[in-house]
A and B are shown apart, each in its own frame.
Chain A
């Protein structure tokens, strides 16, 4: 069995309090090298607080956060030398041009920014030199987001921390962004991203963590979480059949709608018991819909609210 890649991010019993308010409590989590890790939660769940502790913008009340084995607070400079960060709301001075922003932030990086790589990023996100010569006050939300992505990626850091990265991007630019994520992952970079877009998380992330009121509700691969949800199964019949009186008592099967020629069910686990029951009925077709990440994650959110 191959050894697990080393943890790029390690959180141990991380807690942050503001007076009596607990922003995050006893958060322990590992993000491994080369993975794209989704960090999910409702607004105020503690995602941004965690990210800001990783960047040493906030100091934890208790516990420890480390990146590449180095403590984020005690050894913050070397930690941040390995990070590219895209904030949820990128705040840059409106009187600066895009070019000046990129140059300023490149000069503040410890790793030299490759002009070639920066140009590739700009081309990928369709930011021309004319665009870069304009002041940010003339930029649309999407253009600012693209500039934010370029500044985060331009030094080609080992770890990318991205807070709602595709917010404000049009579908084509979202595609460009997903392609970029795939490329950086193939080069061994690690991505830690928070997102509200569950379809996006399902598409790009290998593992996710769901944060609920500052506490970790679940950490698992996207597949593991998806398979916690029941599959939706529609059974179509060639002739009218009586309602399935015995189904609700069968483990893992739940009837959600019944018509004479169609039953809608939710099935947890294997389909065998259902198929066995259907064997004596005039089945025309079976439609099995794979469970979605959204179904499970939204349940986690709801449990937290209740």
Chain B
């Protein structure tokens, strides 16, 4: 455990600038969304937006589009905005592929020449991938709650804290799933760019599979493969409780990735 903590401290110290910038940007974005929602709410714009939605868009997205065009919808959008999800996924992938970067740079040669088990390296990255992504999401939650507390119009009902927490938990589970996949791919790769690229492209493809499945039936048969299928934020915004099954699938696949990473890394040549 001492080795894991020593390496984890070292990794956090090295990536602290990226971590702080990402946290500040995403927390700031949450505040910005609350400000935007407040402005739209007070100017009565939400109602006119809904009237402008073309029928085919309603057909594709259903009632969720109307829900999105509300104070709660805009506030919660920060937890499923594609750019936010992409930034968080890239961060999780970057943290999870640190072992392969350390192989590539040969930094691990001097680390593993000491009595440090290989599992320590993967354990460190699994721990950081889990905790740092949770930390950034927690900062987004905190920023949202602070923003809501300060800026919610008196006549408007703020989204429930439980909803915010449910979105955050589901988002974190999605990141854990992608991070687990990246950890496993990284544990078997020789280059970080290859591992990150493979997982990044796979994530993008799976993201589109999830969207495609909504409008193209053949894609629906594959949608279960997409981790994004298990993060249906709009239905939660519409009032559905956090789907425990979805979280379990995401957490389980992430955990499988972590276990696979331990096995692959323990057997490979470095």
Contacts and interface: CB of A to CB of B under 8 A. Distances in A.
Interface of A: 52, 55-59, 77-78, 80-81, 83, 85, 87, 89-93, 95-96, 104-105, 107-110, 151, 161
Given A58-B269, A80-B115, A105-B114, A93 B109 contact: no
B92 to A, nearest CB: 21
5 contacts: A77-B117, A81-B115, A108-B7, A108-B114, A109-B114
A57 B117 CA distance: 11
B105, B107, B114 pick with most chain A CB within 10 angstroms = B114
Interface residues of B, number: 22
Instruction: Report, nearest first, the 7 A-B pairs whose CB atoms are least far apart.
Output: A85-B113, A91-B106, A81-B115, A57-B270, A108-B114, A110-B115, A77-B115
Contact of A90 (B2, B10, B110, B267): B110
Interface string B100-143: 00000111111111111100000000000000000000000000
A85 B110 contact: yes
Contact of B3 (A89, A92, A108): A108
B6 A91 contact: no
Contact of B110 (A56, A58, A151): A151
B14 interface: yes
Contacts of B6: 104, 107-108
A85 B107 contact: no
B115 A58 contact: no
A87 B117 contact: no
Nearest to A148: B110
A80 B14 contact: no
A87 B108 CA distance: 11
Interface string B44-61: 000000000000000000
A108 B111 contact: yes
B270 A80 contact: no
A57 B3 contact: no
A92 B267 CA distance: 24
A103 B110 CA distance: 13
Contact of B109 (A78, A87, A96): A87
Nearest to A53: B269
A27 to B, nearest CB: 17
B119 to A, nearest CB: 11
B45 to A, nearest CB: 47
Nearest to B120: A108
A81 B113 CA distance: 8
A95 B107 CA distance: 13
Contacts of B117: 77
A93 B14 contact: yes
Nearest to A161: B113
A108 B114 CA distance: 7
Interface string B246-270: 0000000000000000000001011
A110 B14 contact: no
B110 A57 contact: no
Contacts of A85: 109-110, 113
B109 A57 contact: yes
Given A80-B115, A108-B116, A95 B109 contact: no
Nearest to A89: B106
Given A57-B270, A77-B117, A95-B14, A105 B110 contact: yes
B202 to A, nearest CB: 27
Contacts of A87: 106, 109-110, 113
A66 to B, nearest CB: 16
A85 B113 CA distance: 6
Contacts of B105: 91, 93
Contact of B114 (A58, A59, A110): A110
A306 B268 CA distance: 35
Interface centre among B2, B14, B111, B115 (most CB of A within 10 A): B115
A65 to B, nearest CB: 14
